[in-house]
Chains A and B, each alone.
Chain A
Amino acid sequence: AQSVTQLDSHVSVSEGTPVLLRCNYSSSYSPSLFWYVQHPNKGLQLLLKYTSAATLVKGINGFEAEFKKSETSFHLTKPSAHMSDAAEYFCVVRTDTGRRALTFGSGTRLQVQP
């Protein structure tokens, strides 16, 4: 079985300060891990993904995430928040079994204060 826990339902930062969105996963197999972003009433956009290559993954819009197997974590970071980063962020896990569907975390809403 696989599961994802996003440790914060809401995160608020000031523009220009660092962003940290936390994610822990549980998986019986070697996982693929993703971060998606969703702006209000929109579909999901892929930010980045980890698929057993480099443990530090760089994504779009300056985001990156580090896969730490010992901690079963895949936290999302950005050095400097921008107002346009305000959105809902989902940590997602997929295991390479016959069913390729995704398991989603409950989401973290990021607010960026001016």
Chain B
Amino acid sequence: DGGITQSPKYLFRKEGQNVTLSCEQNLNHDAMYWYRQDPGQGLRLIYYSQIVNDFQKGDIAEGYSVSREKKESFPLTVTSAQKNPTAFYLCASSSALAGVQETQYFGPGTRLLVL
């Protein structure tokens, strides 16, 4: 059963705490992405990775960190420096070989709430 999985579905963070959101894909995709969604808004890019061991900042990277040690995994850490972390976080992946036909496929999302 191919696809993208994100865990947990809901995550609670205490003040000053770092939390890590998991994203795993078994689609053999090279590229992976993290987006943040706030109520009534579209998605904004946090970080992306086009290949293992390489990643780039997106439009709103401050307060976040990522790693890409394996092709299938792209975890996102929300650090204590992120002052407004409450949001819906979506992970996506795509095949670099698809060229103009490239499509991003999304996971089910993780909702992060601050206690």
Contact = CB atoms under 8 A, between A and B. Distances in A.
- Is the A/B pair a real complex? yes
Interface of A: 4, 9, 32, 34, 36, 41-46, 49, 51-52, 90, 94, 96, 99-102, 104-107
Interface stretch (B14-22, B70-78, B79-87, B103-111): B103-111
Interface of B: 4, 6, 31, 33, 35, 40-45, 48, 50, 56, 58, 88, 90, 92, 94, 96, 100-109, 111
Contacts of B44: 104
Given A100-B50, A101-B33, A107-B42, A44 B106 contact: yes
Interface of A is mostly: loop
Nearest to B48: A101
Interface of B is mostly: strand
Contacts of A52: 100
Contacts of B109: 41-43
Nearest to B105: A46
A42 B37 CA distance: 12
19 contacts: A4-B42, A32-B100, A32-B102, A34-B103, A41-B88, A43-B90, A43-B107, A43-B108, A45-B106, A46-B105, A49-B103, A52-B100, A90-B43, A96-B100, A101-B33, A101-B48, A101-B58, A107-B40, A107-B42
Instruction: List the 5 shortest-distance A-B pairs measured between CB atoms, nearest first.
Output: A104-B42, A43-B106, A44-B106, A43-B108, A104-B43
B111 A41 contact: yes
B41 A101 contact: no
B102 A46 contact: no
A82 B108 CA distance: 23
Contacts of A32: 100, 102
Contacts of A43: 4, 6, 90, 106-109
